Chains A and B, each alone.
Chain A
Amino acid sequence: MRAVTLPEDPSRREHLRALVAVGGTSALGACLDLGADGDGAGDPNAVSVPSGTDPDALPERQHAWNEALPTDEHGNVRPPEHHVLVALSLADGVDVPPSGDARETLEAALRTLERAYERSNEGLLFTLGYTPGYFDRFDEPLPDDLSLPEPGPLFPGGDPAVDAHDAVLHLASDEAAVVLEAEEALFGDRETVNGVPLEADATAVFDPLAERRRTGFVGAGLPAEHTDVPGVPDSIPAEAPFFMGFRSGFRRSQATEDRVTIESGPFAGGTTQQISTTALQLEAWFEQDNHFQRVSKLFSREHAAADLVGEYGEALEASNGLTAERIDSTAADAREHGVVGHAQKAARAREDGEPPLLRRDFNTVDGDRPGIHFLSLQRTIADFARVREAMVDEELDVPTANDGIRHYVFVDRRGNYLLPPRSLRALPPANPDGN
Chain B
Amino acid sequence: MRDPTTSEGIDRRTFVTGVAAGSLAVAGCTNEGSEGDDASEGGDGDEGEDADFEVGPAFREVDDPPDAVYLPTHREAMRTVDPLEAGDYILVPMLSYPHPFWLVTGGTGEDDVSREVPDDGRGVHLMFVLRDAKTDIVLPVEDGARIEIFADGEPVDGPRSPWPMISQEMGFHFGDNVSLPGDGTYRVEITLAPLSARTTGDLEGRFGERATASFEFVYDDAFREAVVGGVDYLEEEEWGRRDALEPMGNAVAGGPTIADYPGRPLVAPDGGSEDGAGPPRSGDAAVLGTLVESGNRFAADDPYLLVSLRTPYNGVPLPHASPSATVERDGDPIASEVPLEGAVDGEVGHHYGASLADVRPGDAVTIAFESPPQVARHQGYETAFLEMPPVELEVTDR
Q: Which of A291, A338, A397 contacts B106 (CB 8 A)?
A: A338
Task: Note all chain A residues with C-beta closer than 8 A to B214.
Answer: none
Interface residues on A, range: 35 or more
B111 touches A401 (CB 8 A): no
B179 nearest CB neighbor, chain A only? A283
Task: Note all chain B residues with C-beta closer than 8 A to A297.
Answer: 105
From B30-38, B271-279, B366-374, the one touching the partner chain is B366-374
B374 touches A402 (CB 8 A): yes
A339-B161 in contact given A155-B144, A155-B193, A397-B322 (Cβ < 8 Å):
no
B164 touches A288 (CB 8 A): no
Q: Please measure, in the bound complex, the distance between the C-alpha atom of A219 and the C-alpha atom of B191, giving whole angstroms.
A: 34
From A89-97, A189-197, A253-261, A406-414, the one touching the partner chain is A406-414
- The minimal Cβ–Cβ distance linking A428 to chain B, given in whole angstroms, is 37
Interface residues of A in 274-305 (CB under 8 A from B): 279, 281, 283-284, 287-293, 296-297, 301, 304-305
B106 touches A339 (CB 8 A): yes
Q: Please measure, in the bound complex, the distance between the C-alpha atom of A297 and the C-alpha atom of B103, giving whole angstroms.
A: 13
Interface residues of B in 191-229 (CB under 8 A from A): 191-194, 196, 210
A399-B142 in contact given A338-B105, A338-B371 (Cβ < 8 Å):
yes
Task: Note all chain A residues with C-beta closer than 8 A to B159.
Answer: 279, 281, 410
Q: Please measure, in the bound complex, the distance between the C-alpha atom of A304 and the C-alpha atom of B210, giving whole angstroms.
A: 34
B106 touches A337 (CB 8 A): yes
A156 touches B146 (CB 8 A): no
B375 touches A407 (CB 8 A): no
Task: Note all chain B residues with C-beta closer than 8 A to A204.
Answer: none
Task: Note all chain A residues with C-beta closer than 8 A to B161.
Answer: 281, 284, 400-401, 407-408, 410
Interface residues of B in 121-171 (CB under 8 A from A): 142-144, 146, 155-161, 163-164
- The minimal Cβ–Cβ distance linking B150 to chain A, given in whole angstroms, is 13
A288-B111 in contact given A338-B374, A399-B374 (Cβ < 8 Å):
no
B114 touches A336 (CB 8 A): no
- The minimal Cβ–Cβ distance linking A68 to chain B, given in whole angstroms, is 36
Task: Note all chain B residues with C-beta closer than 8 A to A288.
Answer: 103, 114, 116
A296 touches B106 (CB 8 A): yes
A398 within 8 A of B: yes
Interface residues of A in 394-435 (CB under 8 A from B): 394, 397-402, 406-408, 410
A159 within 8 A of B: yes
Q: Could you count the A-B residue pairs with CB atoms below 8 Å apart for me: how many are there?
A: 112
Contact string against B for A residues 22-50, beta-carbon threshold 8 Å, 1 for contact and 0 otherwise: 00000000000000000000000000000
Task: Note all chain A residues with C-beta closer than 8 A to B319.
Answer: 399
B363 within 8 A of A: no
B111 nearest CB neighbor, chain A only? A292
A157 touches B210 (CB 8 A): yes
A157-B144 in contact given A292-B111, A339-B106, A394-B196 (Cβ < 8 Å):
yes
A156 touches B196 (CB 8 A): yes
Task: Note all chain A residues with C-beta closer than 8 A to B176.
Answer: 284
- The minimal Cβ–Cβ distance linking B165 to chain A, given in whole angstroms, is 10
Interface residues of B in 377-395 (CB under 8 A from A): none
Interface residues of A in 294-322 (CB under 8 A from B): 296-297, 301, 304-305
Q: Please measure, in the bound complex, the distance between the C-alpha atom of A159 and the C-alpha atom of B211, giving whole angstroms.
A: 11
A339 nearest CB neighbor, chain B only? B105
Q: Please measure, in the bound complex, the distance between the C-alpha atom of A338 and the C-alpha atom of B111, giving whole angstroms.
A: 14
B144 nearest CB neighbor, chain A only? A400
Task: Note all chain B residues with C-beta closer than 8 A to A159.
Answer: 191, 210
Interface residues of A in 79-101 (CB under 8 A from B): none
Task: Note all chain A residues with C-beta closer than 8 A to B104.
Answer: 338
Contact string against A for B residues 308-319, beta-carbon threshold 8 Å, 1 for contact and 0 otherwise: 000000000001
- The minimal Cβ–Cβ distance linking A294 to chain B, given in whole angstroms, is 9
B28 within 8 A of A: no
A289-B144 in contact given A279-B159, A305-B109, A336-B322 (Cβ < 8 Å):
no
B339 touches A397 (CB 8 A): yes
Residue of A289, A406, A407, A408 most packed against chain B (CB within 10 A): A407
Q: Please measure, in the bound complex, the distance between the C-alpha atom of A293 and the C-alpha atom of B192, giving whole angstroms.
A: 25
Residue of A157, A297, A305, A369 most packed against chain B (CB within 10 A): A157
B371 touches A156 (CB 8 A): no
A367 nearest CB neighbor, chain B only? B155
B111 touches A336 (CB 8 A): no
A335 touches B370 (CB 8 A): yes
Interface residues of B in 345-379 (CB under 8 A from A): 370-372, 374-376
Task: Note all chain B residues with C-beta closer than 8 A to A338.
Answer: 104-107, 320-322, 371-372, 374
Q: Please measure, in the bound complex, the distance between the C-alpha atom of A196 and the C-alpha atom of B113, giving whole angstroms.
A: 60
Q: Please measure, in the bound complex, the distance between the C-alpha atom of A290 and the C-alpha atom of B110, giving whole angstroms.
A: 11
B236 within 8 A of A: no
Q: Please measure, in the bound complex, the distance between the C-alpha atom of A157 and the C-alpha atom of B211, giving whole angstroms.
A: 9
- The minimal Cβ–Cβ distance linking B147 to chain A, given in whole angstroms, is 10
B104 nearest CB neighbor, chain A only? A338
Task: Note all chain B residues with C-beta closer than 8 A to A407.
Answer: 144, 161
A293 touches B371 (CB 8 A): no
B194 touches A157 (CB 8 A): yes
13 A–B contacts from the bound complex (CB under 8 Å): A155-B144, A157-B144, A157-B192, A292-B109, A292-B112, A338-B320, A394-B196, A397-B322, A397-B341, A398-B320, A398-B374, A402-B105, A407-B161
Residues of chain A whose beta carbon lies under 8 Å from any beta carbon of chain B: 155-159, 230-231, 279, 281, 283-284, 287-293, 296-297, 301, 304-305, 334-339, 369, 394, 397-402, 406-408, 410
* Cβ-closest 10 pairs across A and B: A157-B193, A292-B111, A338-B371, A399-B142, A335-B322, A338-B374, A290-B114, A399-B320, A410-B159, A293-B105
